[in-house]
Amino acid sequence: MIRRMIGPLLFGAFGIAVLVSLGVWQLQRLAWKETVLAEIDARIGAAPVGLPAAPDVAVDKYLPVLVSGALTGEELDVLVSRKEIGAGYRVISVFETDTGRRVLVDRGFLVDDARGLPREARALEVEGNLVWPDEVDGYTPAPDAKTGVWFARDIPAMAVALKAEPLLIVAKSETGDGIEPMPVDSSAITNDHLNYAITWFSLALVWAGMTGLLLWRIRRNVE
């Protein structure tokens, strides 16, 4: 009987060990990801600086900046949806700094019914974070030529359309016209490692149970 049980026992122990090790690895990844998110949050909330002369995607992502200048009135609307609110638009505007640079500002969320209302071109100071959104893939529709609506923040294409630098500042505070700011935070960054760890540990328990059941059936058949 013991000989017949050795193979299933070893196989079961091996499977449990693999699944548990995967769960432990995910817990390690969780700790790493939480550290990364804490660093991002600290960077987002740091004191703002002036706009870099030549921003770098890797170095300056989430960099807090403070710029003075004016909205030019040139804008694009990106279709988005928010929980408990529904459809609306992110308003991407051209902002001309006091030094003459034309950059893009994500002013925030505008409800669908307010899209047709006039918006004021005016001087203001914008505090926000530099962001290079990764929202475009092979399934993203082209902007609607009839309505002018965009379906993703495609910064290079928007910069060409608006004759501005391919540089986006996501505003932290209100910029007027009833547009609600949507400041940058780390909540949109995926962190599912705890769920993955629970899944692997659960599978290890199931594997252990199935192994125990198999060994019990082998023993019963022998007896």
Per-residue confidence (pLDDT) for residue 116, from 0 to 100 = 82
Q: 89 versus 40: which is more confidently predicted?
A: 89
Q: Output DSSP code: residue 49.
A: B
Residue the block writes with tokens 């505070």: 173
DSSP-based three-state secondary structure for 118: coil
Same domain, 120 and 154: yes
Residues 83 and 118 in one domain: yes
- C-alpha span between 149 and 89 (Å, rounded): 9
CA distance 121 to 134: 28
Cα(180)–Cα(91) distance, rounded to whole angstroms?
10
Mean pLDDT of 29-51: 91
Same-domain pairing of 159 and 108 = yes
Q: How many domains does the chain have?
A: 2
Q: Do residues 97 and 168 share a domain? A: yes
* Chain centroid, CA 33 distance in Å: 13
Residue 127 lies in a domain: yes
| 48 is a domain residue | no
Domain-embedded: residue 69: yes
Determine the Cα–Cα distance for residues 98 and 67; give it in Å rounded to an integer.
8
Q: Judge whether 129 lies within some domain.
A: yes
pLDDT by residue (tens digit) across 146-199?
A: 888 999 999 999 999 999 999 999 999 999 999 999 998 887 778 899 999 999
Residue with tokens 């500002």: 105
Question: Is residue 49 situated within a structural domain?
Answer: no
pLDDT digits (tens, 9 = 90+) for 122-131: 899 999 999 9
Question: Which letter does DSSP use for residue 181 in this model?
Answer: P
Verify that 83 and 164 share a domain, yes or no: yes
Single-letter amino acid, residue 223: E
Residue 51 lies in a domain: no
pLDDT at 76: 95
User: Is the pTM for the entire model greater than 0.75?
Assistant: yes
Q: Could you tell me if 81 and 7 lie in one domain?
A: no
- Residues 205, 153: one domain? no
100: Cα within 13 Å, side-chain hemisphere: 0
**Quick one: 83 and 140 in the same domain?**
yes
pLDDT band at 121 (very low <50, low <70, confident <90, very high): confident
**What average pLDDT does the chain have?**
90
Query: What percent of the chain stands above pLDDT 70?
Result: 96
Residue type, 50: G
Q: Does the residue 14 lie in any domain? A: yes
Would residue 50 count as lying in a domain?
no
Same domain, yes or no, for 133 and 201?
Answer: no
Are 111 and 214 members of one domain? no
Band of pLDDT at residue 1, cut at 50, 70 and 90 = low
Asked if 58 contacts 68 with a C-beta cutoff of 8 angstroms, the reply is no
What is residue 188's predicted lDDT score, i.e. its pLDDT?
73
Task: Work out the average pLDDT over 36-40.
Answer: 88
In a shared domain, residues 215 and 131: no
Chain-centre distance for alpha carbon 5: 50
Kindly state whether residues 150 and 112 are assigned to the same domain: yes
d(CA 96, CA 77): 18
Which two three-digit tokens encode residue 199? Answer: 């899944």
Instruction: Please give the residue that has the higher pLDDT: either 75 or 86.
Output: 75
What domain range includes position 21? 2-40+195-222
